[in-house]
Structure 1
Amino acid sequence: MSEKENVAPLDALTQDDFVHVGYIDRPEQEMVQGEDESALRDGWERFKKNKGAVIGLIVISIIIVMAIIGPMISGYRFDEIFKGYNNLPPRIPGLENLGFFDGTSRGVNVYEQLGVTQYFWFGSDTLGRDLFTRIWSGTRVSFIIAIVAVLIDFVIGVTYGTISGYFGGKVDMLMQRILEVINGIPNLVVVTLFVLVFKPGMVSIIVSLMITGWIGMSRVVRSQVLKLKEQEFVLAADVLGARKMMIIVKEILPNIMGQMIVMTMFSIPNAIFYEAFLAFVGLGLAEPQASLGSLINTGYNSMLTHPHLLIFPVIVLSLLMLSFNLIADGLRDAIDPTMKGH
C-alpha cells in the first residue's frame, strides 16, 4: 500500500486523532519585557519626571484655588473703600509676632498710629481698598482671559489652519494672504480702535484677541496637516470613500492633538500678558474692576513710597506666566515621541 493510501481523508478525522502537546516554551529573551502602556499614561510618566513642569502645575493649582476662595476668606469686597485706611502696609495675623508683615512702614507701625484694628494681608491701595481681595479678583480676570485664549485657538485657529492645509492650492494661497494682512496690523492699533468703539473692558480685550490671537495656532495646525494629508492612512481613507470632514475629524486632528495642546499652553501666558499690558497702558478693565495689569499700573505710580502695591501683583503675575510656560515645556517633552528617554 502506498503512502498516499495511509493518509485518512480530512472529513474522516475526529478529535481523537489529535494529541495536545502542551505549550511551547519560548526562550526568555524572546518574551516581550514590561507592561503595555497607553500613550496617555506614558506621556504622564514622562511629564512627572520633569520637576519644573510638576512645580508649575502645583503653583497653578494653588493660584486657581486662591482665585476662587481668596476674595471670600478676606472678608472684604474688591470695591469696598475704607476711608482713612489708604496705603496701609501688609499685616498678617500670626506673622506680625515674628517681626514681619506687622504693619510697619519705615520703622513706624501705621496700624497702631491710626488705631486700625483690622488686618489687610497685602495692605490697602491708594483708595483704602483691600489689596489681597483685589489681587485675587484680578487673577480671576487672568484665568478668564486664559479660557478665552484656549477657545479662540481651538475654534478659530484650528479650523482656519485645518481648512487651509487640507484643501491646499488656491484655497490655501488665498487664506494665507488674508492671514498675512491680518498679522501685519499692529495689535495695539487694533485694540485702540476697539476701545474707541466698545470702551475699555473685557469685550474690547476679547474681540482684540479674536482678531490676532489665533494666528500662531493656525500656522502650526496648517504645517501639521500639510505633512499628514499625504500619509498612507489618510490616502487609504480617501480611496475608501470617506468624506473629507470625517477624514479631518477622525484621521488628521487626533494625530496633531499633542501639538495643539502644547501650542495652546504656550499661548495662555501670552494672552495673560497681553491683557496685563493693555491694563497697564489704561486700555483694560475700567474702575472699580481690577486686573493684575491695572493693579501693577497703580502700584507703579507709588513704587517708591508704597512698594507693596507693586510687589504683590507682580509676584502673582510672574508666577502665573512662569508656571504656564513650565507646564507647556513639560507637555512638549512628554508628548513629543522624539523626547522619549531624555
Structure 2
Amino acid sequence: MDNSAFRFVSHRPDEAAPVAQPPKSIGFWRAAGRKLLKDRLAMVWLVILLLLVLAALIGPLVSGASPYTIHVNLRNAAPSAQHWFGTDHLGRDLFVRTCLGVRVSLAVGLVATFLAIGFGTVYGMVMSFFGGWVDELLMRIIEIFNSLPGLLVTMIIMIVLGNGVGTMLFALAITSWSGAARQARGLVLQLRQADYVTAAVMLDTPLYKIMARHLVPNMMSILILDIGQSIPGNIFAEAGLSFLGLGIQAPNTSLGLLISDGQNQMLQSPSQLYIPVAILVLIVLAFNILGDGLRDALDPKFRG
C-alpha cells in the first residue's frame, strides 16, 4: 500500500474550531421598520407628505401675507412673485389660505381618526372581554350604526348641532368607530385565551390594567394599520362637508372650503380650483400608499 497518498494532520486541543455564529434575531417593530424603509414607493410618498406638511407649517411665515386681509384691487389675481398661488375673489392670498387649509384638514382628519379608533377599541375590548348578554347588546348597537348611511348621519349631526370644528370631529368619529370596535372584539377574543391574560384575571387585576398592559400592546400593529387607513377617509369626509357648506365656515378655511370657493371662480381663475384639488389628492393618495406600506410591513408573512 502506497503511504504517499496519506498525510498526517496535527491537532492541538487548544486550537478550537471556529463556531458558526447564529444569526442575530431582531424584534417585530425593527423588522417592520426595515421592510417599510425598503418600500421605495411608500418612502417617496412619505417624503411628499412631509414636504406638504412642512410647507403648510412654515409657508405663512415665509410668505408674510395675511390670510384674512382683503385687497379689493387684487381680486382673482394670477399667481405672481408676490402672491404665489394668486388671490381669491376677495383679494386674499391663496397660498397662505391653502397652507391654513392643509393644517385644518390634517388636524380634523387626525383627531377624528384617533377619537374613532380609541373609542372603538375600548368598546370592542369591553364587549368581548365580558361576553354574554353584554356582548350581544353592544353588538346590536354596532349593527344599528352600520345600517345607517354615514354621510347622512354626519350631515344630520352637523345641521342639528351647528357648524364648527368640534361638531365635525364628533360627527366624523361617531360614524366611523364601529369598524374599529368589531376588529378589536375579534382580536380580544383570541387574546383572552392566552395564559398571561388568564393569570391576570385570576389575580383580580382591574380591567383597565389588563387592557393597558396585555391587550393594547398586542393589538398595536393592527391599531397603527387602522389609523393609517382611516386618516385619508376622514380628510376626504371633512373636505366633502366643507364643500357642501356644512363644515368649516368662513373666514376660516380648509381644503374643502377652498374647493367650494374655487368652483365659483373656475371660469375666471381656474387655479383657485385646481390647486386645492391637487393638494387634496396628493394628501389622500400619500396616506393611502403609506397605509398599504404599513400593511405589508406589519405582516410577518410578507416578504416583498
Q: TM-score, normalised by structure 1?
A: 0.79
Aligned to 1:204: 167
**Which one of 47, 50, 54 corresponds to residue 61 of structure 1?**
50
Partner of 1:273: 236
1:321 aligns with 2:280: no
CA distance in 2 between counterparts of 1:293 and 1:280 reads 5
Matched, 1:32 2:22: yes
Q: Which moved more, 1:152-161 or 1:183-192?
A: 183-192
Task: Tell me which amino acid in the other structure corresponds to 1:206.
Answer: L
How far residue 239 of structure 1 moved from its aligned partner, in angstroms, is 4.6
CA contact (8 A) 2:76 2:268 kept: no
CA–CA distance in 1 between the matches of 2:113 and 2:159? 26
Within a 5 Å distance, the mapping from 1:139-178 to structure 2 comes to 139-178=102-141
The letter for the 2-side match of 1:209 is L
Cα-to-partner distance string for 1:188-208 (whole Å, 9 max, x where unaligned): 333333333333221221120
Cα distance, 1:283–1:239 mapped onto 2, change above 3 Å:
same
Q: Which residue of 1 aligns with 2:246?
A: 283
Q: 1:144: Cα distance to partner?
A: 1.2
Instruction: Within 5 Å, give how 1:244-283 maps onto structure 2.
Output: 244-283=207-246
1:212-234 Cα shifts (integer Å, max 9, x gaps):
12122112211111222223443
**2: CA distance between counterparts of 1:238 and 1:327?**
38
CA distance in 2, matches of 1:128, 1:295: 14
Partner of 1:50: 39
Query: Cα deviations across residues 158-181 of structure 1 (Å, max 9, x unaligned)?
Result: 111111122222111110111121
Q: Tell me the residue number matched to 2:64.
A: 75
**Partners of 2:96 and 2:26 in 1: how far apart?**
45
The C-alpha deviation readout for 1:26-72, integer Å capped at 9, x for no partner, is 753xx412x33222221111000111211122112111111111122
Whole-Å separation in 1 of the counterparts to 2:75 and 2:94: 11
Please tell me whether the aligned partners of residues 152 and 213 of structure 1 are also in contact (alpha carbons under 8 angstroms): no
2:249 is paired with a residue whose SS is coil
Paired residues for 1:96-245 under 5 Å: 119-239=82-202, 242-245=205-208
Higher CA-based Rg: 1
Q: Which runs of 4+ in 1 moved over 6 A?
A: 21-24
Secondary structure of the structure 2 residue equivalent to 1:337: coil
One-letter code of the match for 1:272?
A: I
Tell me, yes or no, if the aligned pair for 1:145 and 1:275 is still in contact at 8 Å. Answer: yes
CA deviation after TM superposition for structure 1 residue 186, in Å: 2.6
The answer to whether the 8 Å contact 1:187/1:208 transfers is no
Q: Which residue matches 1:109? A: none
CA RMSD in angstroms, aligned pairs only: 2.1
**SS at structure 1 position matched to 2:83:** coil
Give the direction of change, closer, same or farther, for the CA distance of 1:26–1:175 in structure 2 (3 Å limit).
farther
User: So what's the TM-score if we normalise by structure 2?
Assistant: 0.89
**Separation in 1 of the partners of 2:170 and 2:212?**
27
Q: Which residue of 2 aligns with 1:105?
A: none
Counterpart code for 1:131: L
3-state SS of 1:338 partner = coil
Aligned-pair identity (%): 36
CA shift, 1:235, in A, is: 3.2
Deviation at 1:147, TM superposition (A): 2.7
Counterparts of 1:23 and 1:221, CA distance in 2: 58
Aligned equivalent of 1:85: 74
The aligned counterpart of 2:8 is none
- Structure 1 gaps of 5+ residues are 1-20, 93-118
- Separation in 2 of the partners of 1:186 and 1:241? 41
- Corresponding residue SS for 1:126: coil
Pair 53,174 (structure 1): closer, same or farther in 2 beyond 3 Å: same
Number of corresponding residues? 292
Contact 1:149 1:267 (8 Å CA) reproduced: no
Deviations 1:279-320 (A, max 9, x none): 111111111111100111111222233210111101111111
